[in-house]
Homo-oligomer: A and B are copies of this chain.
């Protein structure tokens, strides 16, 4: 492979990278996304996702390694970038010196099936939460995630927090979760989680027939339309302050119970 060198922070490739990093609209328009760090970039390439461009510093090249070699060999274009350019590309405190632009794998081809257990996330705003939920979902063996608004699945902060699991798990996106739930209702029991002591404690729910379970937005919870569309409501009984269970912790407990 032949490296081209980028030394200007104003380089068009650098600007394109930053637009993809910073805005969901740009990711949607182009069908591309970005990753930072050798581990994430290599995971991405190794899982068969086409890598359009790799950017790496001299220091990262000097460090080398088999995974970097494979990543570079499979990329359409490779660039050596100066340290100031790497700092511009990075959105972490300590840039790792390896970055890539990759093609979004299509979400199609997954469809929830009878008996499966899906978690739906309604307008989750914090990318750390989306990433953490995805990581837990993968560890526990959840069938897939249904992402409805909020942070998109190619948000770089969410991808990093997910340790790449967002690229490995089946992840579907929907613009209208209430409609999607109604449609899925014929295949799987649908649940909305609520901080309401009158709802069924999650421990008492029989998930043996599968489930789609909705976790709501951090501030506002599950929307009224989705509450209406879901067949049942479940809750995590709390003894302390109800406001104190955050979306990622609630999702971890709910997924754990779904998988029992």
Contacts and interface: CB of A to CB of B under 8 A. Distances in A.
B245 A139 contact: yes
A259 B253 CA distance: 12
Contact of A203 (B141, B245, B246, B260): B260
Contacts of A236: 256
A252 interface: yes
A241 B132 contact: no
Given A253-B253, A256-B256, A245 B141 contact: no
A236 to B, nearest CB: 8
Contacts of A90: none
A240 B139 contact: yes
A249 B249 CA distance: 6
Contacts of A256: 236, 253, 256
Interface string A241-260: 11111101100110010011
A135 B238 contact: no
Interface string A121-152: 00000001000100111111100000000000
22 contacts: A132-B248, A132-B249, A135-B249, A136-B245, A136-B246, A137-B240, A138-B240, A138-B244, A139-B239, A139-B241, A139-B242, A139-B245, A139-B249, A140-B238, A140-B239, A140-B240, A141-B238, A165-B241, A203-B260, A248-B248, A249-B249, A253-B256
Interface of A: 128, 132, 135-141, 163, 165, 203, 236, 238-246, 248-249, 252-253, 256, 259-260
